[in-house]
Every structure is written in C-alpha cells, then in structure tokens.
Structure 1
Amino acid sequence: MALNQADLHTHTTASDGTQRPADNVRMAAEKGLAAIAITDHDTVDGIAEAMEAGAALGVIVVPGVEISTSAGGRDIHMLGYFIDWQNEGWREKLAGQLRVRDKRNELIVAKLRELGVAITMEEVTAEARSRGKEGGSIGRPHIAAVLLAKGAVRSMQEAFDRYLGEDGLAYVNPPRLHPFEAVDWIREAGGTSVIAHPGLYGDDDLVEDIIRYGAQGIEVYHSDHGAEEEARYAGLAAKYGLIATGGSDFHGERNGVVFHGAIGSRTVGVSVVDRLNPALRD
C-alpha cells in the first residue's frame, strides 16, 4: 500500500484519458494513495466528479489542469494546481485553448489524409465519445486510437513515432500560448504553476527560463523520466527553491497498454500537496 503518497498527474475522459474522473479516484484508493490530482489538458470539466468521489472514498483530490503551450518550436506543458477552477473567467480562457486544440486536430487529420491515410474528424470524435467522453478536449491519443483501429499502425507508440509526435509526418503546431503566459494565467487563477515532464523537451535552457520567469515547481518524477532525469531536475528544484512534484501522467489503457504509467507508478509524499496549496503556503 502506498500510504501517504500522492500521484499529482492524471488524465480522464474530460480530455484524452480512457477512465472517468471517479474511476481515477477509485483506482487511487485501491492503490492506497492519500491524494490524486486531476490534470486534464486545457479543461477542468473532470474535477467536480473526482472531488465527489474523493469525498466518498477518503482520497484527497487536488484540482488541477495541464495547459498546452509552445516555445522554441516545441510543445511545452504547464501544470496548474489549486486554481479557482469554478471561476467563469478562467473557464473562458480554457475554452480558447480548446478551440486551438480543435484546430490542431483538424490540421493533423488533413495532413494524414494528404499522406494517404483514410481518416475523418467524425471518426476521431466518435472514438472520444466511445470512451464515455462528454465535452472537454480531444487530443492526439484519440487520433492515434483511430489509426490503430484502422490498422494504419500497430501500436499507440508507433502512431506517435510515425505520425503524431514532434518528428512525425503529420505533426502540426499552430500558434499557442507561451509558457510564460501560462504561468501568469495560473497565478491570476490563484494557483501554483509547475513545469510538466521537463525531460521530454530536450531543452533545459528553456526550462530554466520558465523557472526564472516565475514557475513555482517542477515535475521531477514522471513515468518517462529515468534516474538521470530525476536527479537532474531534483537538482534544479533545490537550486531554485522549487516544489518538486511527481505523477504517473496516467491516460488509461488502450489495447492492453497503459499510456505513460499506471496510477501510483510515480508519486511524491502527500506533504507536497500542502506545499502546492497557496492557502496553506502563504
């Protein structure tokens, strides 16, 4: 049992996960976790359901979000914790993010069709809805799942390596929010900003720029970080006095494969939750 541990990075059907928010909380309880964060891409639509489940199961649910940004030609993700997720102004900002995400999906599908892959946005939307998704954001994993179902690829990983990742044939990156703007947004919403999975960017100079701008934490422990990355980012956290966070980046299971990591596979002590909460930190 993972007593006094927290998984601070999970996704649900509100974005591109395969499990409902309540399911994530239930699985956290089954793993013996004290806390779990719901950090869907550019939406907070899964938080209310998760918090209700947390109250019933005795699991602390941290309200969060993962904001899609871009800098230096790369996708950079910023996590926001304890944001005022019910604020209408905040929700309007996220709605704008979803419109950019929808445009990117359309451009990716168009590129795939140019490459001779028979795929439509209707099929992608149907895939998302088949997972119990009601609104929220649609992302690349939904496109990857359609490619897999059609036999265009043999695995989700191949879909990203061949078509959807930054080096993929169908990758597109429309103008997005800058990470600095995301830091500002999260601060204005009363939350705490954390750089997600910095080891995936291959640009520690940019990571340090975001830190110096005002990011308050860094995700040291992540399913795609090895021991070397964990040590390096733990060092950055110590150097700059940042909150060192961690999480599985759980997206659920597709075709028997868990995307990124299982709930509870990467955790930090539950005391980190208090450090992320501005009401307790200030």
Structure 2
Amino acid sequence: MAKSKNKSQMKWFRVDLHIHTPASSLCYLDKNVRFIDILRKTAEKQLDAIAITDHNTVVGIAEFRRRLDTLRFLRDTHRLTPAEASELEECEQLLSRILVLPGFEFTATLGFHILAIFPPETSIRKLEHILLELNVPEEKLDEGTSEIGATTDVLTAYSLLNKAGALVIAAHANSNHGVAMQDFNFGGQTKISYTQDPNLHALEVTDLASRSKKATARFYNGTKPEYPRRMHCIQGSDAHRLERDPSDKSGRLGIGDRCTEMLLPEVSFEAIKDLLTSTDFDRTRPAKQISLPDVIMQAQQSGPGPSLVFYERLSSRKQQMEEVAKDAVALANGGGGRIIIGAAREPGAVKGVDNPEALAERVQQYIESAVQPRLKVKVEIVQSQGKNVLIVSVPDGTSPPYLLKPAQVWVRKDASTVPASPEDIVKLVSKYHSEKTLSFGPDVQPQQTHSLHDPPKNGVEIIDYTTRDGVNYYTMKDLRNGSIVTNVTRGSARKLWRYAIEEHESGKFDPSKIQWREGMGIWKTYRRGNEIRYNLVQRDADGRLHVYYGVTDEGLHGAWRAFALPAEELEDSQDTVSKEPVEVIS
C-alpha cells in the first residue's frame, strides 16, 4: 500500500476515468465526434484528467495519437492549412492542462467488465499485446465491441493487468456487467474474491453520492467479516456520447456528467494510482455538477454592439462571406470582438449551422485571405440548445487600419459596420501606432518575453475603456466563459467587476511589485469571506499587460497553479507578494 502524504500540499482534481470514443463502434452514439471535440468538452466540464477506455480496443487513442503526429509533421514541414494549424494549436493548449490516460474496458468471461488504465507514455503496441494476452481475438481488436466471446476469467485478468502496471478498476461494479451486482447470484465465494482480490485497486460504482444504507461504498467499507478489505469506490461517466441528451430516456451520460474529485499532490497517473492503492479513504468524493453557461444565450442577452455581431444564417456564397469579412475588419479596427453564426440577436433564437466543421474552415480561410494585413481569427464550434453554432473570435488588431481588399476600411458604429471616414482612419493610425496600454502606472519588463498562456478559468479582465463626459466606460471580459461586455461603469458594476474597476481607478497597481514566473506574475492576494483571491498578470508578445482580478484557487490551471498559496499560508492569511496581511473585502 502507498503511504499517505501531507494533505496540506494537495489539491482537489476532477477526474473521469471511463470515457469512450467512436472506436467503441457498436455502442457509441455520436459517430462524427473527433478527439478535439472530446478535449473541448473535457475542458468545458473542468476535468483535469480523463481515461480513454474503449471496449476491448485501443483504436480510439491510437487514431488520436496518429492525428497529432500528422499535424506536427505538417507543421514541421510548413504544410499546415489554417484550419489544421488552429486544430493543432488548440489540441496542444488543451493537452497542456488535461491529463489523457490510455486504456481499455475489457470484457472478461461471464461478461464482467474491467477498466485497465495505463501511464500516458504507454505504447499502442504494448496495449494491444496485453489485449491479446487476455485472449481478445486478433480479428476483434479493431471492432470496439464488448461482445468478443470467451476470453479470460476475472481473477486472472486482475493479476495480468496489475503485473502490466495498469490501474485496475471493476467497471460499474454495482450495475450491468459489474462484479458486485447484489441481485446476481454467481456464488458467494466468487463474488467475494471478485471484489476483494489484491490485484483489484478500486470499484467504479454508480451510486457514490447515495446516502442509502445499501449504497455500494457503504457495503464495501471493511466492516463485514466476509468482506474485510475496504475498497476505494469512485465514479465515472461511462460516456458513450459527447454530452447528455435530455430527451434520451436511456440515461446515457456525457463526458464528466458523473466524475470523481481526488485530493492529489499533482494530477498524474502515479498520483492517482498511489491514492487508489493507499489506505486514505477520505481523499475521494463524488464531484459536484458544474453549471455550464450557454455563451450564445449570454451573448443574446447582451445584444449586438460594437464588439458583437450576429448571423442567423450563413451560406458559403462569396457575397455572404464578404459581409462576414467586413465585420471582421471592423472588429479588428475597433478593439476586437465576436461574430456569432447560427443564432439571431433575439434571446433563444438559435437556428444552428449544418456541417459546422466545413463552414468554420471556409469562414476562417476567407477572412485570412481577404483581409489586409493578414488577420488571424479563431473559429470555435459551440453547442446552444442542442445545435451547433460558430463563434468567430476577432482579436484587437495590432497593425491597423485593417481593410478588405482592394482598399475598403470598415469600422463599427454602435451595432453597425460602416465604411471608415477619413477621420476614422486618422484616429486608427494615431491610436494604434503609438504605444497602446492601459494606465497601470510605471511599467517594469520581465527578464524575457513569453507566449501568452490561456487566462485563468475565473475572474475578470479589463480589456479597454473610454471616457465620455467624465465617466469611464469599460470593456470587461468574464474569464469563466470568455464573454465580453461593453459600456460597464463603476456605478453599474457589481461585486467582482466593481472591485476590478475600483482597483484600476485607484492607481494602486505597481508593476514593480509583480513576482514574475515565465512571463506570468502575481501582484496581490486578498480575502473575500473565507476565500483567498489572486490578482494575476501576464504580458503578451506585443508587450501589453493583461491583469486578471479576483481569481480563485479553482480558476488556477496549468502553470497558473504555481501561484496558489500553500495551505499554511492560507491559514496565516499572509500576502504572497508584499508579505502584509491579506486585504479583506466584505
């Protein structure tokens, strides 16, 4: 058994160790799902680790690795299309903060299912060799089906998998094809051995959150003479689709709909296995369901404006593509923004788009070929009311004025895109070709520049502001969902947004006190109620500072986790930057 470690040095991570892909060909419900879609949904559900566990095959994880290798080869040989470059960039960003573990769901004799999960570096050849050792027929290796005939008995499978270095988990143990089904009579001693075998590390159960006296975790708590070994019980989604369909009465879950939180020193295969082979039983718990915002409905509630454009429908005809490119030019000239395709401006009016991947590539290619200087946009496919919608994110242009070939300059006036006047063009040149930074006070450069990291997962950023009649009007970005809201004032803002504006207007920000780490920095911590919050900062490639106000521990991901206060400092409530008491915000 692994020894217990200092819990004060650990954090709770969200883990789903039972996810299928279209390689589970006979039972996966969304046949056109790509691995980038799985990664996007994993990030959306705020999961830190997943395991790919297709039925008696590793085709799914193998195809994903081949896709990554192909894209990287094309990048190295300078042959990537814009869409492929965007896909690779997004994949690598997501993989930098999500642990993906390879594995499979093995069908033992009598139909019992066993999850086998391996370290991320495990080769496909080794995984297939193990499946062959388990007597999965060679001709079945690529089928991805749970119906494969006689293979290997449960106890032999546990032993073989454990010796191969796998994390061995009895899949949905208390449900169909589970080794702990209470109403399935296959011999008392057999059932005891199937759930108490030392080569089995944990039970995956479907009632982990239940408080019933008959809950599986309570039954295997080590108090019964015939079941003396207390078992780790976790839960997984067993996702056979990307997201749950509320109209599907079968109850099939989507990615992360039923997952486990684990208290770990880090999110790694070794840390997870150490926990599930330890005697620490208070470091796992059923994860709470998170409330996912519908970014399209949020945008509709804000309505069209200087940074937001709606297209209810869009064809690939040149005339309509040119209209989208005009909007992209205007947004780039005016601070950036979003173009939403497949939804009208009225709340709840979502038409969706057909063949979203092809349309997304067409839009991106047209904008990047028609706009001068070259404008790189990001096109995402999101779900709203069960329909596919495109979001075209247009950056704040760094080399304006942008124009549509041959020489058309466009700008946004309120909620309309209009030709730029000579005065508009003069303003663009004078505004953007001088140093464009918010008035944060004296600036201090870090030792070297770094590429921009993804921002924290919560908090707020002030993107820009203008002053009219003595009142500052701010453009704010909500880091939880990426939504941008314009014309926010100190008087109209509430809670965290008001705090960010007050901090900005107070002039307290002093870049000389930033503690830098690889292009990222922290300059203040404060306490709101019982929660510690962080004000963080990073510099982009153009030298512009991005300040993130009010980030919580849950918002720290990837390299940002380095700024989390250790537990002992949380208890002492000491500021990590100034070493003064943490400011209390009521």
Whether TM-score is above 0.5 comes out as yes
Contact 2:136/2:151 (8 A) holds in 1: no
Correspondence 1:1-282 to 2 at 5 A? 4-16=13-25, 17=28, 18=30, 19-47=33-61, 49=64, 55-57=92-94, 58-70=97-109, 74-82=110-118, 85-86=122-123, 88-95=125-132, 97-99=135-137, 102=140, 136-139=142-145, 174-200=149-175, 201=178, 202=181, 203=184, 205=188, 206-214=190-198, 215-221=200-206, 228=212, 231-236=215-220, 240-252=229-241, 257=248, 260-271=252-263, 275-277=271-273
1:92 Cα shift? 2.3
C-alpha separation between the residues in 2 aligned to 1:45 and 1:193?
Answer: 20
Structure 2 letter corresponding to 1:99: P
Give the unaligned 5+ runs of structure 1: 103-134, 141-171
Equivalent residues of 1:192, 1:278 under 8 A apart: no
- Amino acid in structure 2 at the alignment position of 1:61: V
Q: What code does the residue aligned with 1:37 have?
A: A
Task: Please give the alpha-carbon distance, in whole angstroms, between the structure 2 residues aligned to 1:23 and 1:98.
Answer: 29
CA displacement, residues 174-233 of structure 1 (integer Å, 9 cap, x when unaligned): 32211112112211221121111111243484443123322111113469x976598223
Q: TM-score, normalised by structure 2?
A: 0.31
The alignment's C-alpha RMSD in Å is: 3.9
The CA distance in 1 between the partners of 2:39 and 2:213, in whole Å, is: 28
Find the aligned partners of 1:192 and 1:12 in 2 and give their Cα distance. Answer: 20
Q: Which residue of 1 aligns with 2:385?
A: none
Query: Which of these two proteins has the greater Rg computed from alpha carbons?
Result: 2
Letter of the 1:265 counterpart: D
Tell me the TM-score normalized by structure 1.
Answer: 0.60
Shift of 1:11: 0.4
Contact 1:9–1:247 (CA<8 Å) still a contact in 2?
Answer: yes
Change beyond 3 A, Cα 1:233–1:280: closer
C-alpha spacing 1:281/1:176, structure 2 compared with 1 (3 Å): closer
Structure 1 position 68, deviation (Å) = 0.8
Normalized per residue, the structure richer in helix is 1
In 2: Cα distance, 1:45 partner to 1:76 partner: 21
Task: Tell me how far apart the structure 1 counterparts of residues 47 and 56 of structure 2 sit (CA, whole Å).
Answer: 25
Q: Structure 1 residues 250 and 184 mapped into 2: Cα distance closer, same or farther (>3 Å)?
A: same
Note if contact 1:221-1:230 (Cα within 8 Å) is conserved in structure 2. no
Tell me, in whole angstroms, the C-alpha distance in 2 between the residues paired with 1:208 and 1:78: 16
Q: Give the conservation status (yes or no) of the 8 Å contact 2:240–2:252.
A: yes
C-alpha distance 230-216 of structure 1, shift in aligned 2 (>3 A): farther
Higher relative contact order (CA 8 A, sep 6+): 1
Q: Distance in 1 between matches of 2:213 and 2:100?
A: 27
In structure 2, stretches of 5+ residues that fail to align are 1-11, 69-89, 223-227, 279-586
